[in-house]
Protein backbone atom coordinates (compact mmCIF):
# COMPACT_ATOMS: atom_id res chain seq x y z
CA UNK A 1 0.00 0.00 0.00
CA UNK A 2 1.35 3.41 -1.00
CA UNK A 3 0.18 6.76 0.33
CA UNK A 4 0.75 10.09 -1.42
CA UNK A 5 2.01 12.69 1.05
CA UNK A 6 3.09 16.33 0.76
CA UNK A 7 5.57 18.25 2.93
CA UNK A 8 3.87 20.81 5.18
CA UNK A 9 6.27 23.61 6.17
CA UNK A 10 4.07 24.78 9.03
CA UNK A 11 3.80 21.32 10.58
CA UNK A 12 7.43 20.50 9.64
CA UNK A 13 6.43 17.00 8.47
CA UNK A 14 4.76 15.10 5.65
CA UNK A 15 0.96 15.03 5.72
CA UNK A 16 -1.58 12.75 4.11
CA UNK A 17 -3.59 14.37 1.32
CA UNK A 18 -6.88 13.95 -0.50
CA UNK A 19 -6.48 14.42 -4.25
CA UNK A 20 -8.79 16.06 -6.75
CA UNK A 21 -8.88 14.94 -10.36
CA UNK A 22 -9.98 16.00 -13.80
CA UNK A 23 -10.04 13.80 -16.90
CA UNK A 24 -6.26 14.19 -17.34
CA UNK A 25 -5.23 13.19 -13.83
CA UNK A 26 -4.53 14.65 -10.41
CA UNK A 27 -5.00 18.42 -10.41
CA UNK A 28 -5.03 19.37 -6.75
CA UNK A 29 -4.76 18.29 -3.15
CA UNK A 30 -5.79 19.28 0.33
CA UNK A 31 -4.66 18.03 3.72
CA UNK A 32 -6.59 14.96 4.80
CA UNK A 33 -8.86 15.71 7.75
CA UNK A 34 -10.21 13.30 10.34
CA UNK A 35 -12.60 10.95 8.56
CA UNK A 36 -11.13 11.54 5.07
CA UNK A 37 -9.72 8.70 3.05
CA UNK A 38 -6.17 9.73 2.13
CA UNK A 39 -4.71 9.06 -1.32
CA UNK A 40 -3.76 5.37 -1.07
CA UNK A 41 -2.84 2.93 -3.81
CA UNK A 42 -2.05 -0.76 -4.11
CA UNK A 43 -0.23 -0.18 -7.41
CA UNK A 44 2.97 1.91 -7.07
CA UNK A 45 2.80 2.94 -10.75
CA UNK A 46 -0.68 4.45 -10.32
CA UNK A 47 0.43 6.18 -7.13
CA UNK A 48 3.51 7.58 -8.80
CA UNK A 49 1.50 8.79 -11.82
CA UNK A 50 -0.70 10.91 -9.57
CA UNK A 51 2.27 12.08 -7.47
CA UNK A 52 4.06 13.21 -10.66
CA UNK A 53 0.92 15.06 -11.80
CA UNK A 54 0.92 16.97 -8.51
CA UNK A 55 4.64 17.68 -8.66
CA UNK A 56 4.30 19.09 -12.18
CA UNK A 57 1.35 21.31 -11.24
CA UNK A 58 2.76 22.43 -7.89
CA UNK A 59 6.49 22.80 -8.54
CA UNK A 60 7.21 24.11 -5.05
CA UNK A 61 5.49 21.19 -3.31
CA UNK A 62 7.51 18.21 -2.14
CA UNK A 63 5.46 15.15 -3.04
CA UNK A 64 6.46 11.69 -1.85
CA UNK A 65 5.09 8.17 -1.78
CA UNK A 66 5.12 6.48 1.61
CA UNK A 67 5.38 2.70 1.39
CA UNK A 68 3.06 1.70 4.22
CA UNK A 69 4.58 -1.77 4.54
CA UNK A 70 8.18 -0.63 5.02
CA UNK A 71 7.87 3.02 6.08
CA UNK A 72 10.20 4.07 3.24
CA UNK A 73 9.66 7.31 1.34
CA UNK A 74 10.08 7.40 -2.42
CA UNK A 75 10.83 10.60 -4.34
CA UNK A 76 11.27 9.04 -7.76
CA UNK A 77 10.36 5.85 -9.56
CA UNK A 78 13.84 4.34 -9.63
CA UNK A 79 13.57 2.74 -6.20
CA UNK A 80 9.95 1.60 -6.32
CA UNK A 81 9.49 -2.18 -6.29
CA UNK A 82 8.43 -3.96 -9.46
CA UNK A 83 4.73 -4.77 -9.73
CA UNK A 84 4.15 -8.20 -8.29
CA UNK A 85 7.56 -8.25 -6.58
CA UNK A 86 7.81 -9.33 -3.00
CA UNK A 87 8.12 -6.05 -1.06
CA UNK A 88 10.60 -7.52 1.42
CA UNK A 89 12.88 -8.58 -1.45
CA UNK A 90 12.49 -5.37 -3.46
CA UNK A 91 13.30 -2.82 -0.80
CA UNK A 92 16.91 -2.26 0.12
CA UNK A 93 18.01 -1.86 3.69
CA UNK A 94 17.35 1.67 4.92
CA UNK A 95 20.22 4.05 4.29
CA UNK A 96 22.12 5.09 7.41
CA UNK A 97 22.21 8.87 7.68
CA UNK A 98 25.29 10.54 9.06
CA UNK A 99 25.49 13.34 11.59
CA UNK A 100 24.95 16.25 9.16
CA UNK A 101 24.58 19.95 9.87
CA UNK A 102 23.46 23.02 7.90
CA UNK A 103 23.33 26.76 8.62
CA UNK A 104 19.96 28.44 9.11
CA UNK A 105 18.93 32.09 9.45
CA UNK A 106 16.24 33.32 11.84
CA UNK A 107 13.28 34.66 9.85
CA UNK A 108 10.80 35.22 12.68
CA UNK A 109 11.41 35.62 16.37
CA UNK A 110 8.51 34.27 18.43
CA UNK A 111 8.00 33.32 22.05
CA UNK A 112 7.97 29.62 22.86
CA UNK A 113 4.23 29.84 23.58
CA UNK A 114 3.73 30.80 19.91
CA UNK A 115 5.79 27.88 18.60
CA UNK A 116 9.27 29.36 18.99
CA UNK A 117 11.57 30.99 16.48
CA UNK A 118 11.33 30.15 12.79
CA UNK A 119 14.50 29.44 10.81
CA UNK A 120 15.18 28.81 7.13
CA UNK A 121 18.22 27.26 5.44
CA UNK A 122 20.74 29.94 4.45
CA UNK A 123 21.64 29.84 0.77
CA UNK A 124 25.15 28.58 0.15
CA UNK A 125 25.25 26.69 3.45
CA UNK A 126 22.58 24.07 2.84
CA UNK A 127 24.86 21.21 1.81
CA UNK A 128 25.26 18.85 4.77
CA UNK A 129 28.52 19.32 6.67
CA UNK A 130 30.18 17.94 9.76
CA UNK A 131 29.73 19.61 13.13
CA UNK A 132 33.21 21.17 12.97
CA UNK A 133 32.56 22.52 9.47
CA UNK A 134 29.20 23.91 10.65
CA UNK A 135 30.86 25.75 13.55
CA UNK A 136 33.33 27.38 11.14
CA UNK A 137 30.54 28.20 8.65
CA UNK A 138 28.45 29.70 11.46
CA UNK A 139 31.31 31.97 12.46
CA UNK A 140 31.77 32.99 8.82
CA UNK A 141 28.05 33.81 8.42
CA UNK A 142 27.96 35.84 11.62
CA UNK A 143 31.01 37.81 10.46
CA UNK A 144 29.77 38.41 6.89
CA UNK A 145 26.12 39.17 7.74
CA UNK A 146 26.02 40.65 11.27
CA UNK A 147 22.48 41.97 10.67
CA UNK A 148 21.12 38.39 10.67
CA UNK A 149 20.92 35.76 13.37
CA UNK A 150 22.16 32.29 12.41
CA UNK A 151 22.32 28.86 13.94
CA UNK A 152 24.01 25.58 13.09
CA UNK A 153 21.19 23.05 12.77
CA UNK A 154 21.51 19.28 13.04
CA UNK A 155 19.47 17.62 10.30
CA UNK A 156 16.78 15.11 11.16
CA UNK A 157 16.03 12.33 8.69
CA UNK A 158 12.89 14.07 7.39
CA UNK A 159 14.74 17.33 6.85
CA UNK A 160 17.58 15.65 4.98
CA UNK A 161 15.15 13.79 2.72
CA UNK A 162 13.20 17.00 2.11
CA UNK A 163 16.39 18.97 1.40
CA UNK A 164 17.49 16.31 -1.11
CA UNK A 165 14.10 16.49 -2.84
CA UNK A 166 14.20 20.30 -2.94
CA UNK A 167 17.70 20.23 -4.45
CA UNK A 168 16.53 17.77 -7.14
CA UNK A 169 13.51 19.95 -7.90
CA UNK A 170 15.68 23.08 -8.16
CA UNK A 171 18.11 21.33 -10.50
CA UNK A 172 15.16 20.17 -12.63
CA UNK A 173 13.70 23.70 -12.83
CA UNK A 174 17.12 25.16 -13.72
CA UNK A 175 17.61 22.57 -16.46
CA UNK A 176 14.19 23.39 -17.95
CA UNK A 177 15.02 27.12 -18.00
CA UNK A 178 18.09 26.41 -20.11
CA UNK A 179 16.18 24.27 -22.64
H or E segment at 175? Answer: helix 157-177
Whether the Cβ atoms of residue 50 and residue 34 lie closer than 8 Å to each other:
no
In tens, the pLDDT along 64-116 reads 888 888 777 776 544 444 444 443 443 443 443 446 788 888 887 766 666 66
Paired sense of beta strands 40-41 and 2-8, if any:
antiparallel
Could you tell me which residues are beta bridge partners of residue 119?
A: 106
* Residue ranges with strand state E in 89-171: 101-108, 118-121, 150-154
For the whole model, what pTM was predicted?
Answer: 0.45
With CA atoms as reference, report the closest residue to 66 among 16, 32, 124, 115: 16
Amino acid sequence: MYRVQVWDDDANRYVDVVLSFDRWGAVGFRHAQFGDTPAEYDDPEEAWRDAVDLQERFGNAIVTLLDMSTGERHFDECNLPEIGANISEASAAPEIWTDDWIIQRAVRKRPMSAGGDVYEPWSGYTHPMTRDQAVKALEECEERWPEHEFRAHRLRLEEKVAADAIDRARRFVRSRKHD
